[in-house]
A and B are shown apart, each in its own frame.
Chain A
Amino acid sequence: MSAPDDRRAEGHGGLNRLRQAVNTFQAGDRVRVKYLWPERHPQPSGLPSAHIRTPHYLRGRTGTVQAVLGSFRNPEDLAFGRPAPQRVLYHVLFDQPPIWNEGEAGDSLLVEIFEHWLEPATNQEKAA
């Protein structure tokens, strides 16, 4: 399945405007991707419950905010035609080797993650 590549409501050259959205985290903050699996819990309505843009391999992983990319309507609601509030989107940098036990030291993964999927990393995780 392909994500919609055509959205008129936002995005068009509007980086400056979008960057003014309120963000909890700043570049340089250590963050943890929430260890949640909403796709495993169908809604009572029987409708599909999840259109999640957070990759499985990052759930529970800790990274560093590299940039605040702007704010976009929540794809988890958009996908089902529900009212979709704006969410802040971050570019988050992860070390690659700890995630896959492969790759060379210094290799990294840079991924777009929405704010409601992030929480502050604990001190223990910061030290790790």
Chain B
Amino acid sequence: MSAPARPESLAHLEKLLAVLSAKGLITAQELVDRQASTDRASPEIGARMVARAWLDPEWRRLLLANGAEAAERMGVSMAGAPPLGVLEDKPDLHHLVVCTLCSCYPRAVLGYPPSWYKSFEYRSRAVREPRAVLAEWGTQLAPGVKLRVVDSTADFRWMVLPLRPEGTEGWSEDQLAALVTRDALVGVALPRVPQAIAAE
């Protein structure tokens, strides 16, 4: 992903950590814990939260009311993380998330943002011509569906709760979670039942 750290950067980092530690602002254990939780974070967490919301109305209510609390209940540590808001897609409303100012992204439940999310092109175009951007992703909204672009500009982080695809009646949480991709959690794509399964 990124270039290897330069030796002078690492030396700089060690000095910074030494100062923070001497001032009692961080401990070695906190660093280890944070690295572990950062490494664990992936879109599978967000996908699991969505699949559960499709199955459990009470969980859905919690997720929409307080995404951070819902994440905590799934075992995700949200300590130090910004609040998490969840955007509920409806039959006539689709959400698309962008951060035009930088790259704000719900890392605690989606992991690292993909490079396209941070690109100047996505950040400019998602807000200016979102329907053209969706078309390039191959995402076709049904006629009459309104598009709502959520520009993540400040202290919240946002993820999309997409609509449950048709043809998934009776599916388990695991099966449903497998349909929810990172791109669907950002809103550039929709959860889809693979054709091979749909044809069965």
Interface residues of A (CB under 8 A from B): 1-3, 5-8, 10-15, 18, 53-55, 57, 69-70, 72, 75, 89, 96, 100, 102-104, 106-114
Contact = CB atoms under 8 A, between A and B. Distances in A.
Contact of B155 (A55, A106, A112): A112
A89 B153 CA distance: 11
A11 B82 contact: yes
Given A6-B80, A55-B100, A102 B148 contact: no
Contacts of B131: 103-104, 107
Nearest to A110: B150
A102 B129 contact: yes
B155 A12 contact: no
Contacts, number: 115
Interface in B146-174: 146-157
B155 A11 contact: yes
Contact of B148 (A6, A70, A110): A110
Interface of chain A: mostly helix, strand, loop or mixed: loop
A103 B155 contact: no
B149 A2 contact: no
Interface string B113-125: 0000000000000
Nearest to B146: A106
Contacts of B155: 10-11, 69-70, 72, 75, 89, 112
Contact of B102 (A3, A13, A18): A3
Query: Which of A3, A8, A57, A107 is most buried by chain B, counting CB atoms within 10 A of its CB?
Result: A3
A108 B94 CA distance: 10
B2 to A, nearest CB: 13
B149 A109 contact: yes
B104 interface: yes
Given A106-B146, A107-B147, 5 more contacts: A8-B79, A53-B101, A70-B83, A108-B148, A112-B154
Contact of B81 (A11, A18, A57, A96): A11
A108 B148 CA distance: 5
B107 interface: yes
